[in-house]
Amino acid sequence: MIEARHLTKVFDLPPARARRALDTGTDRGRAVREAGGVLAVDDVSFSVQQGELFVVMGLSGSGKSTVIRMINRLVAPTAGNVVYDGTDVGGMTRQQLRELRNKRVGMVFQHFALFPHRTVRENAAYGLKARGMPRRERLQRADRALEQVGLGQRGDAYPDEFSGGMKQRVGLARALTTDPDVLIMDEPFSALDPLTRRSMQEQLLELQRDFRKTIIFVTHDLNEAMRIGDRIMVMRDGRIVQLGTGPEIISRPADGYVHDFVSDVDRTRVLTASTVMQPPWVTATLDEDPASVLARMEESRGRGVYVTDPGGEIAGVVTPALLSEAIAEHRADLGDCVGDDYTAVPDDTPLVEFCHLAGGHTVPLAVVDRNKHLVGVVPRARVLDAIASAPKDVNEHA
């Protein structure tokens, strides 16, 4: 697990003067600027869980690269620290830091940063070479990593013979040969064309599913962030403006900056059933008396009600017609009168996959969690709202 605490970085000032400027309290950015420095990262705290794909997003110059480089101390923080699996990275000896970089953390770069004078295989083997592993063994392992990224037979080529997508596969292989727990990827797909980018994203997701690496992924592309990120940290001018899951950010942007970012994303692919659903107005359980259910339904002017069994799963729906019938037959509970005129979707279904189902029945669409429990409903109007716009109160901030 990686924990960043109050990370702050000032460039172009000696550390002592930088700290003095930071201590002024009121407007740190301005104080640093007036002292002649750049406040690249300003008091950023977050933690990344084992196996998480954590995305850092923001416009160019917002401090993304600087933040992630403080994790393996390629950039030394001016203030704050990073704790890696309980150890303070700032307190590590040279040897420990080398080991962290060599064995725990792999890195992938925006412009690939391959060594042009080495073959692809030697590029992939670089981390192991730095470790001092014998040549034969490291080249074998490099070949295995190249195979993982689909370049198994191309180890003898030189990087300049490759297209961008292939180069970045080599970059990925170089990061994977050392078998790190954490991958830090600084805009790895930004230099690729959209189709290649898409397939690389898919490959990365597959890789993460198979190997459960912790991945810290920088991008300035929200669609990319939404597609792959478990959580997204949005940065602006060196600060965090919002940290949350993709759907959270889309449905509740923290401010106008995030809202502008969010406005051109394909919402139907990001919003899931759980983010657009609402609590059901009325529900009933199987053992209830039909008359009281009918009374409740009439009060809320609904045309149908979901009925759950004792375990919380959906047993079916009842409508006024079905209930009247049951009352006429003097039934004591709903056991035999539930109908099945409804559709249920899992709560992580993207909007694009269920929006055509909303409004197809007398009851709204049901949303169920992993245990098949009813957790909410999506009336047709909610679908339209979600596709159409962000919440109104956000526009006022913009």
Partner 1 sequence: MPRIPVGTAIESALQWLVDHVGGFFDALSAVLLFAVNAVYTALATPMPFVLIAVFGLLAAVTVRSISLTVFTVLAFLLVVGMQLWTQTLETLAVVIIAAVISITIGVPIGILAANSPRVSVCVRPVLDFMQTLPVFVYLVPAVFFFGIGVVPGIVATTVFAIPPAVRLTELGIRQVDAEIVEAARAFGPRPGQVLREVQLPLALPSIMTGVNQVIMLALSMVVVAGLVGAAGLGGVVVNGVTQFNIGVAFEGGIAVVILAIFLDRVTSALGGSRGSGRRARAALDMLLRRRPREETDQVPVRTAA
Ligand X SMILES: Nc1ncnc2c1ncn2[C@@H]1O[C@H](COP(=O)(O)OP(=O)(O)O)[C@@H](O)[C@H]1O
Interface with partner 1 (CB under 8 A): 72, 74, 97-103, 105-107, 109-111, 113-118, 126-127, 130-132, 134-137, 158, 174, 178
Nearest to residue 386, comparing CAs of 232, 262, 233, 222?
A: 262
In the bound state with Mg ion, the residue whose beta carbon lies nearer, of 65 and 119, is 65
143 in Cβ contact with 152 (< 8 Å): yes
**Beta-strand relationship, 79-84 and 105-108:** unpaired
SS percent in the chain: helix, strand, coil, step 5? 40, 25, 35
Residue 11's binding partner out of ligand X, Mg ion, partner 1, none, with CB under 5 to 8 Å set by partner kind:
ligand X
- Binding flag, residue 29, ligand X (CB under 6 A): no
- Binding flag, residue 62, Mg ion (CB under 5 A): no
- Show the binding pattern over residues 193-222: x = contacts ligand X (CB under 6 A), - = does not: ------------------------------
- Binding flag, residue 214, Mg ion (CB under 5 A): no
Residue 355's binding partner out of Mg ion, ligand X, partner 1, none, with CB under 5 to 8 Å set by partner kind:
none
Three-class secondary structure assignment of 109-159: CCCCCCCCCCCHHHHHCHHHHHHCCCHHHHHHHHHHHHHHCCCCCCCCCCH
- CA dist 358 and 360 (Å) reads 6
Helix (H) / strand (E) containing 366: strand 365-368
In the bound state with partner 1, the residue whose beta carbon lies nearer, of 120 and 326, is 120
Residue 361's binding partner out of ligand X, partner 1, Mg ion, none, with CB under 5 to 8 Å set by partner kind:
none
Shortest CB 297 distance to ligand X, Å: 54
Shortest CB 89 distance to Mg ion, Å: 20
Q: Which stretch binds ligand X (CB under 6 A): 55-63, 146-154, 167-175, 296-304?
A: 55-63
In the bound state with partner 1, the residue whose beta carbon lies nearer, of 164 and 256, is 164
Three-class secondary structure assignment of 13-41: CCHHHHHHHHCCCCCHHHHHHHCCCEEEE
Shortest CB 54 distance to Mg ion, Å: 16
- CA dist 189 and 202 (Å) reads 12
- Binding flag, residue 80, ligand X (CB under 6 A): no
- Binding flag, residue 319, Mg ion (CB under 5 A): no
Longest dimension (CA), the chain: 87
- Binding flag, residue 371, ligand X (CB under 6 A): no
Q: What is the C-alpha radius of gyration for the chain, rounded to an integer number of angstroms? A: 27
- CA dist 264 and 260 (Å) reads 8
Shortest CB 164 distance to partner 1, Å: 14
In the bound state with ligand X, the residue whose beta carbon lies nearer, of 58 and 155, is 58
Judged by CB under 6 A, the number of residues near ligand X is 12
Q: Which of 8, 65, 72, 123 binds Mg ion (CB under 5 A)?
A: 65
Q: Which of 61, 150, 256, 346 binds ligand X (CB under 6 A)?
A: 61
Q: Which of 4, 8, 31, 62 binds ligand X (CB under 6 A)?
A: 62
In the bound state with partner 1, the residue whose beta carbon lies nearer, of 6 and 135, is 135
- CA dist 281 and 170 (Å) reads 54
Q: Spell out the residues 6+ positions from residue 222 whose beta carbon is closer than 8 angstroms to its own.
A: 57, 261, 262, 264, 265
Residues facing 38 on adjacent strands: 11
101 in Cβ contact with 72 (< 8 Å): yes
Helix (H) / strand (E) containing 52: none
Judged by CB under 5 A, the number of residues near Mg ion is 1
Q: Which of 22, 63, 127, 201 binds ligand X (CB under 6 A)?
A: 63
Query: Residue numbers of the site for ligand X (CB under 6 A)?
Result: 11-12, 38, 40, 58, 60-66
Interacting residue ranges for Mg ion, rule: CB under 5 A: 65
